[in-house]
Amino acid sequence: MKKTAIAVAIAGLFAMTAAQAAPQDNTWYAGGKLGWSNYQIGGGDVTSSLGSYDVTSHDDVGAGVFGGYQFNNWFGIEAGYDYLGKFDYDSSVGSGDVKSQGVQLAAKLSYDLGSGTDIYGKLGGFSYKSENGSESSSGVAPLLAFGTEYAITRDWAARFEYQWVSKIGDQDEIGFEPDNGLLSLGVSYRFGQVAPAAAPAPAPAPEPAPAPVTVTKEFNLSSDVLFDFGRSSLKPEGVAALDTLYSQIQAETPKDGSALVVGYTDRIGSDASNQVLSEKRAKTVADYLVSKGIPADKISTEGRGESSPVTGTQCDTVKGKKAVIACLAPDRRVTISVTGTKEVTE
């Protein structure tokens, strides 16, 4: 019985670790197996038609073929032929061997463990024929088996199984009624297997829209183009320049934009008068742009007088009022800074 227990333990361990998917519904399969056949039988003081005997060899090679029909992923019917090998004995009337074979029919119950793993059990009957020399015995014995299968490919599967058949033979006819355990490896071909339908590819996630970016555009106009010297009212040339400027601002099309108009003067005159003049010029430009269409609440003005010259000291050595005025022309200017957001396009 120790060998049987070991075989059962090994088969159970294999069943827990092997991976295989069950055959598909309503399909046939067929295969073969080869393994170790072990007869469980007493000896020594056992008395039968042979008298007292000793079994000298319990083990032999076993083999078989099988086929079945899988109704669904958990239930099938399986039939097959098994050669269980032989065992040898010595008795008071001589030595000999007993060999057994037969056909089986069993219900097969499978369980899919997921991830491709399938284990199964079989319960049915074994129609045997046992031979001891010229004597023979036949009958039907109960059969129990369990095992696991592993898919080598979609169509081919490997099988590891332990099968138990109780009381093969008749003691009065051949002198023995042994039990048999068959531990085998097998391979089967599954007919009509169909490749599973491929899952539809997931639709690609839409590309996120680029985030709007904040942009600032600065326009610089010469005050000499917009105004007469020392004045804050627009010249005709200044009107034309602001019309062009407005078109450029519109071309930028900033979203939620705002504008800052800043006026600057040169250093000629007092600080106070230059500050007032720069503020008036900034307001004149802003008012004109509002008249063209820029919302009044989106535009603001500043006057910075002579505080931010761009000429530096380059005019310090210039003589004559007209020459100084001409040299300081870059300091007399109006800047318009437009800030807003723009959508990024690819």
Over residues 67-121, the pLDDT tens digits come to 999 998 899 999 999 999 998 888 766 788 889 999 999 999 998 876 667 899 9
Decide: helix, strand or coil at residue 7: helix
Q: What is the residue type of 189? A: Y
Over residues 117-144, the pLDDT tens digits come to 789 999 999 999 999 888 889 999 999 9
Decide: helix, strand or coil at residue 121: strand
Tell me how far apart the alpha carbons of residues 117 and 293 are, in angstroms, rounded to a whole number: 75
> What is the CATH architecture of 213-342?
2-Layer Sandwich (3.30)
Residue 293 has pLDDT above 90, yes or no: no
Strands (E), 265-342: 299-303, 333-342
Asked if 153 and 193 touch (Cβ cutoff 8 Å), the reply is no
- pTM of the predicted structure, to 2 decimals: 0.52
Question: What are the C-alpha distances in Å from 345 to residues 10, 211, 220, 338?
Answer: 67, 10, 28, 20
Question: What are the C-alpha distances in Å from 338 to residues 25, 71, 180, 217, 259?
Answer: 73, 77, 97, 5, 4
Mean pLDDT of 50-70: 85
Tell me how far apart the alpha carbons of residues 266 and 278 are, in angstroms, rounded to a whole number: 10
**Hey, CA dihedral for 42, 44, 45, 47, is it positive or negative?**
positive
What's the pLDDT score for residue 214?
81
Mean pLDDT of 312-337: 89
End-to-end CA distance of the chain: 79
pLDDT bin (cut points 50, 70, 90) of residue 6 is very low
pLDDT bin (cut points 50, 70, 90) of residue 254 is low
Share of the chain above pLDDT 90, in %: 38
Mean pLDDT of 31-36: 96
The DSSP code for 73 is S
Domain ranges of the chain: 2-190, 213-342
Q: Does domain 2-190 have CATH number 2.40.10.10?
A: no
